Amino acid sequence: MNGAAMYETERIILRPFTREDALNPDGNYQRWFHDAQVTKFNSHGLFPYTEAKLGAFLAGLEADDRLVLAIEAKVRPDGQPMNATRHIGNISLQSINWIYRSAEFAVIIGESKYWGQGIGYEAGRLLIKHGFRRLNLNRIWTGTAATNAGMRNLALKLGFKEEGVFRQGMFLDGEYVSIIAYGLLRADWARKEK
């Protein structure tokens, strides 16, 4: 594990994402961004994930407009405990606007064996709570391709409301698809948490 845990459940640990996560030659981070399935619905796969691109990302990690956390699994994909944790994805609040008290929610599970197991939901609940209770945000938003059923379901399960559609807002697999925009207000989240 690289760094102290911010949050922990029976299955996962959320901790600060570090340079070591990205640069570890034995790690899995850089491989994710060369995997067409992992990057299908985000911009990471549009251009090669070069050393320069990685350097720019790492240089921005300390910026006040983002919080990037590593998701570490404490269990194998079959749910059995592991002796050591494994970095399986990242989750973030980015484009934080301290005047408007808003941020964009993003998550990537790079290890596909963990897809469909509720890891994104578990991590998302923790990060959203942190955003509203610790960062004093008022609104968290996200957007995804209309064809990305996994992220759309995750947004709704986390309590986000569909707020609009950017028609043909994304070019994906040879065609234009719409982007569905979602938002979650602190007041709505607080009512759901009761």
| Structure tokens given for 69 | 């956390």
Query: Per residue in 32-44, pLDDT tens?
Result: 877 778 777 777 7
Full-model pTM: 0.91
Length, in residues, of the chain: 194
Positive or negative: CA dihedral 29, 159, 132, 56? positive
What letter represents residue 72's amino acid? E
Per-residue pLDDT for 1 more than 60?
Answer: no
Residues 121-160 pLDDT 10s: 999 999 999 999 999 999 999 999 999 999 999 999 999 9
Domains observed in the chain: 7-138 (3.40.630.30)
Beta carbons of 29 and 21 less than 8 angstroms apart: yes
- Farthest-apart Cα atoms in the chain, separation: 47
